[in-house]
Amino acid sequence: MTKGNKRHITDEELKTAILEAKRELGTWEKVAERFGKNKGTLRAIANGMILKTPSLRMEYGLDVFAPAPVCPIHGVVHIGKCPKKKKEKMIREMTKQELVFALENRMEFEREMIE
């Protein structure tokens, strides 16, 4: 995602850049000096911490919106809250992807859905 000339980086790209700087420079103090950031936060990111606050994400050049979770019932990302349970499809009407999702998530099937 770009905004003007500034390209946002992913959490993984930031982690990789920090770890490469650590290997090159040797100490967290030097890494912090290069990035102009807090060494404790840089070390935490290198250990897998994901920044959650929008202001910190912007400060580090990350997308402000983190990936949204997939609904365990419907298998898609909803905008807002999950709507009321939609009418269940018959198994024979499901696409391969829907059927795989349903089976992997151990969804219950009623006899009427199978026949």
Q: What is the largest CA-CA distance in the chain?
A: 67
Task: Identify the pLDDT of residue 20.
Answer: 93
Q: Crossing angle for the helix pair 28-35 and 11-25, nearest 10 degrees? A: 120
Encoding tokens for residue 91? Answer: 């198994």
Encoding tokens for residue 83? Answer: 């709507």
Task: Identify the pLDDT of residue 7.
Answer: 66
Q: Distances in Å between the alpha carbon of 115 and those of 31, 64, 74, 92, 102?
A: 63, 47, 21, 8, 17
Task: Identify the pLDDT of residue 3.
Answer: 44
Instruction: Give per-residue pLDDT as tens, 68-96.
Output: 776 766 767 777 777 765 555 667 777 88
Q: Determine the Cα–Cα distance for residues 24 and 104; give it in Å rounded to an integer.
A: 44
pLDDT band at 10 (very low <50, low <70, confident <90, very high): confident
Contact at 8 Å (CB) between 70 and 76? Answer: yes
Task: Identify the pLDDT of residue 89.
Answer: 61
Instruction: Give per-residue pLDDT as tens, 15-50.
Output: 999 999 999 988 999 999 998 888 898 999 999 888
